[in-house]
Amino acid sequence: MQARFPNIHFKPTDMNRDKTVPESQLVMTMWIIWFFILSGLFVIALVMAPELKTVEKLAGPMQFPPLALIGIAAVLLGLIMRFVVVPSCKTLQTKLPFMIAGLALCEGCGFIALFVLNDELVQLRGLLFWLSIASVVLSAPLYARAKSKAASPFHQS
């Protein structure tokens, strides 16, 4: 059987694995990803759960279903990624995937609060949502700095 495109020869080893991204682009990428995950969580909450804005509905006894433990476990795993795994990585390029995974885990707690828990659990939804917001804020990429000022996107020549 003859190949459809005989002139195209692709091997996985042909990929340019030594290609490095400039540090300034990685720094900006990390901050942009963090900002949009945080702001997206707020926008989704304002649209899907406007009751989280009113304090009166958040008062009273709270029920705690076992499903909420998944959200809390996601936050704990996300914070472990941020404070244990990410600092052990040597370069920004290796930190980026772990930062994204940690942020996704922290954001997952908010998604559980907004989409999975029913409307009767307003107190728990509020708790898990604000726990998610706090963990995303704690996951800010403060470690993402260019080593030299010339590599920084904010440096003016």
- Dump the DSSP string for 98-150: HHHHHHHHHHHHHHIIIIIS-TT-HHHHHHHHHHHHHHHHHT--TT---SSGG
Lookup: tokens for 6: 């005989």
Q: Which long-range contacts (CB under 8 A, 24 or more apart) does 2-11 make?
A: none
Residue 79 has pLDDT above 90, yes or no: yes
Tell which wins on pLDDT, 78 or 153: 78
pLDDT band (50, 70, 90) for residue 157: very low
**pLDDT per position as a tens digit, 42-63:** 898 888 877 666 555 555 566 6
Nearest CA to 117 out of 69, 74, 46, 75 is that of 69
Cα–Cα separations (whole angstroms), residue 107 to 17, 38, 42, 60, 140: 31, 8, 11, 26, 13
Lookup: tokens for 86: 């990410």
Mean of the per-residue pLDDT values of the chain: 80
pTM over 0.85: no
Q: Are 52 and 45 in contact, with CB atoms under 8 Å apart?
A: yes
Average pLDDT in the 25-37 region? 92
